[in-house]
Chains A and B, each alone.
Chain A
Amino acid sequence: MGLLDSIFRTPPSKSAALAKERLQIIVTHERGNRRNSPDYLPALKKELLEVVRKYVPIDQSQIKVHLDREDGCEILELNITLPEEEQRVVQQRPNDAGV
C-alpha cells in the first residue's frame, strides 16, 4: 500500500505457518502410530527374533519391524542387522548354520 505502510509495517512473521506445518507432521505421525499399528506386531517381532537366532546370534535391538500404510497399500518392512564377525563365522562353517 502506501509509502508509510512500507516504512512502518512490521515484516509479516511466518512462525504460525511454521508451527502449523510442524504440528501437522508430528500429529499425523503420532496418530499413525497409535491407530494403525496392529496388535500382532510385537508378537511377530518376537517370533522373527527367535527364528533368526537359530542361525545367527542377534539381540532385540538388531531387528526392526515397521508397518507403513500408503494409499491403502500396506508395506511391512523388516530390517535385521547381522553382526559382522558372527556373519564371518557362519560363512566359514556353513554346516553349523543348519543346526
Chain B
Amino acid sequence: MFNLTGKVALVTGASGGIGAAIARTLHKQGATVVLSGTREAVLAERAAELGGERVHIVTADLSDPAAADQLVARAEEVAGAPLDILVNNAGLTRDTLAIRMKDEDWNKVLEVDLASPFRLCRAALKGMLRRRAGRIINIASVVGATGNAGQANYSAAKAGMVGMTKSLAQEAGSRGVTLNVVAPGFIATAMTDVLPEAQKEKLVGSIPLGRMGTPDDVASAVVYLASDEAAWVTGATLHVNGGMAMI
C-alpha cells in the first residue's frame, strides 16, 4: 500500500516544517523528491537529512510569476524524469485585522498562496494530461472553510484554492489525473511555537483529539492522496485538524 517507488514528486515550501515532513514521507514511500523553497542552505540541509539519494533541490521565489511558471520544468530537469506528483505547500501569511489590512498585504498573500499554486498546477497539468497520469495535492487550511479573524487574505486564498482544485479536478478527470486538497488545522511548527502558552492551551481545548497536530499528520494524508490507492478520489478536501472543525 502507498508505494511511491519510481514516482517523481515536487514539494514547494519544503524548507518549512510541514513541507519538510511531506517531502520526507513521500521519500520514505519510495518517491524521488524535488525540494523547492527560497532558502538554499535550508533546502540543502533537508536534502542531506534524506540521505542525498533520490532527492534534488530547486530554489524558487514563488512571489515571482515567472519563477512559478518555470518551476515544474526545472524540477523535471533536475530529476531527469516527468513529474508524477505535485504538492503545493508553499504559502505565507500577513495577518492583521481587515480594517488595518493594506492592499499590499492582501495582494501578496493572494499572489503567493493562490496565484502561484495555480501557475504550478497549470504547468504540471500540461504534461500530466498528456501522460494520462498524475497527482496534485494542494495544501490549504481549515481557515479556508471556517474563516479566522485577522486572516481575511489568507482564508480567502485558501478557500480559493479549494474552488480552484475542484474546477481543475473536473477538467483533468477524463485523463485519470486527480487533484485534491489537504486542509490542516492547528499544527505545531516554528510558526505556532511563538504563540503564548495560554493561547495554545485554549486552542488545544477546542480540539476533540486533545493535542496539536504534527507535520507528520499532514504528510500521511498527502501520501494517501498521492498514491495509486487514491485513484478514485478527486476534488476532495481531506481535513486534518483533530476534529476541531468537522466539515
| A and B held together in a complex | no
